[in-house]
Structure 1
Amino acid sequence: MSKHQYEHLLPHSWTTQVTAWLAEDTPSFDWGGFVVGDGERTAHLNAKASGILAGVPFFNEVFKQLECTVQWHYEEGQYIDVKKQGGEKAKVVVATVKGSVRKLLLGERVALNTLARCSGIATASAAFLDKARKTGYKGIVAGTRKTTPGFRLVEKYGMLVGGVDMHRNDLSSMVMLKDNHIWATGSITNAIEKARSVCGFSQKIDVEVQSEEEAREAILAGADVIMLDNMNGDKLIECARKLKQDLHVSSTSAGKDAKTFLIESSGGIDLDNVGGGGHVDNAIDIISTSSIHQSTKHVDFSLKIDPSS
């Protein structure tokens, strides 16, 4: 359904996660399924709140494994404006699901929980990106690895549908050296040199720093990305601009120590302050935030059996 077909990015093994979710939700007897039986029925997926539809492949797979069919009336990535279509208590029929009534109800909660969470992240991601762009920011907006164990694939997928960068997916995706790594090895330079000795040329090294002095050490030691952690306001912007002016290879004033690197701003950035508060400047290449997926409001959906079916 999605014009971007993000489903094609999912790993071969992803459907086993859906199998595990279903097994977790019904580990023993299906008492409600006994009550309703196996008659063929039709159910309507209703959007009860406005938001971006995301998580279609996961919803589809739940019902595919339960031998039900899903017909979508909206495309993944599309914004569903519930209020515009009928006011505060309106419901918009997003999809129609057909199959055994027992199996419709067996998959109901797993499918809804996944869709609601994924859509909520996509909606929050799009809102954050839109606000950043309205300030004139042209860089990358990224989520973080502060995801829910066992549910990372869904949450990262929601970021993609919402239009933001997923940052690294896991510890193996990129070398990120934070304060604990630096303290444990004695210095920023030691940590970078040790990491580069094993990760080679194919992995980027992202180093968390607390000051301009630490940033310069990291750049000169060969870091690819400099994360200015928990800096904001004039301090952040001045630091980013000065590093680009003094050390970046594209700078006309950079000397013999010029390097190619990206500057990342992270820590405490959310929808309320991305439009101000000194977090946004085009000297900063990446803004990373966990606000688009931690404590993000879900988009409310319901699945209702059509009594006339």
Structure 2
Amino acid sequence: MHPALLASKLLEWLEEDAPHGDLTSEAVVPRGVAVRAVVKAKEPGVAACTEDVAEALRLLGLEARPLKQSGEEFKPREAVLELEGDARTVLLLERTLVDLLSILSGVATATRRLVEEVRRVNPRVKVAATRKAPPGLRGLVKKAVEAGGGDTHRFSLSDAVIVKDNHAAIAGGVAEAVRRARERVSFIKLVEAEARSVEEAVEAAEAGADVVMLDNMTPGEVAEALRELERRGLRERVTVEVSGGVTPENIAEYAALGPDVISTSSITLKARPVDLSLEVVEVRGAPQGSRRPSQPPGGPSRRAPQL
């Protein structure tokens, strides 16, 4: 996501969190006070989109730099992002910023775990996201999947053709839907077809699909579909994707069968956010008598007020 677009998103989300301003900070924090703060981890995880967030914060008038790059692992009490600037602005952004990074790090962490699990069984199989993601966050969530070592899959309906069951029902079958797509879609766009049975998988491949998605099939059904595609000389002509019903508990079983891609929404919709927090570590320009946290990033300090 372009930094300017992300900055506008942050402002949009801030309007939800502080529609009439930050009552606490405006009452407690004098104008002209500047702070240096860090976003710190309370548990281990994988960083995601820290560079994008830092660039957006700079457009909003703060100095910011990632302390952990996207894809880099962090431990508890390690800082992942540093920001400096007007104290009221930092506190206004605190909850929105921390929640966003928590969600994205959760996606990257969940993806990394599945990627490592699959690699232990079959390093040739890719772990991919699906288009299922929180509205408004899909672009960043996809980048978080990439940070975790996964494949982004398509970002939108405009990226590629994926013939699903409803398309096939309207068109009169999987094969007919694939043929129509082949006739009307540019050569530069892939055509994928969802198959709910071995027969549909063969139909899609024979009709010219680039990718055959074995949807909501059991491991036994996936194995049968792969064997049938091989027997008919179709296996090398298509990319085989397994999707639907894939969980962290069964993904290794699917990977052992040898598909090319396993896609799952568990990494985009069900990933648990990583616990992060924001700490003010230095106060500048405070009125006489104000306390100043003196510990460096990572050390104990006073917590910043919560929004």
2:198 is the counterpart of 1:204:
no
Structure 1 stretch displaced more, 237-246 or 43-52: 237-246
2:273 is the counterpart of 1:280:
no
Could you state the TM-score of these two structures normalised by the residue count of structure 1? 0.84
Identify which of 21, 36, 42 aligns with 1:29: 21
The separation in 2 between residues aligned to 1:120 and 1:196, in whole angstroms, is 38
Distance 1:281 1:94, change over 3 A: closer
Partner of 2:48: 54
Contact 2:50 2:81 in 1 (8 A): no
Contact 2:6 2:56 in 1 (8 A): no
Contact 1:46 1:94 in 2 (8 A): yes
Partner of 2:64: 70
Residue identity in the other structure for 1:19: L
SS in 1 for 2:255: coil
Partner of 1:263: 240
Identify which of 213, 224, 242 aligns with 1:227: 213
Contact 1:143 1:166 in 2 (8 A): yes
2:117 is the counterpart of 1:131:
yes
**Number of residue-to-residue matches in the alignment:** 282
Please tell me the root mean square deviation across aligned C-alpha atoms, in Å. Answer: 2.0
Contact 1:244 1:283 in 2 (8 A): no
* Displacement after TM superposition at 1:249 (Å): 7.0
2:228 is the counterpart of 1:242:
yes
Give the unaligned 5+ runs of structure 2: 282-290, 294-307
Aligned-pair identity in percent equals: 33
Contact 2:63 2:84 in 1 (8 A): yes
Contact 2:198 2:224 in 1 (8 A): no
Describe the superposition over 1:164-202 as per-residue Cα deviations: whole angstroms up to 9, x where unpaired. Answer: 101111111111111111111111122112222321211
The separation in 1 between residues aligned to 2:195 and 2:65, in whole angstroms, is 50
Partner of 1:80: 74
Could you state the TM-score of these two structures normalised by the residue count of structure 2? 0.85
Contact 1:73 1:94 in 2 (8 A): yes
Give the unaligned 5+ runs of structure 1: 1-8, 83-90, 251-259
SS in 1 for 2:14: helix
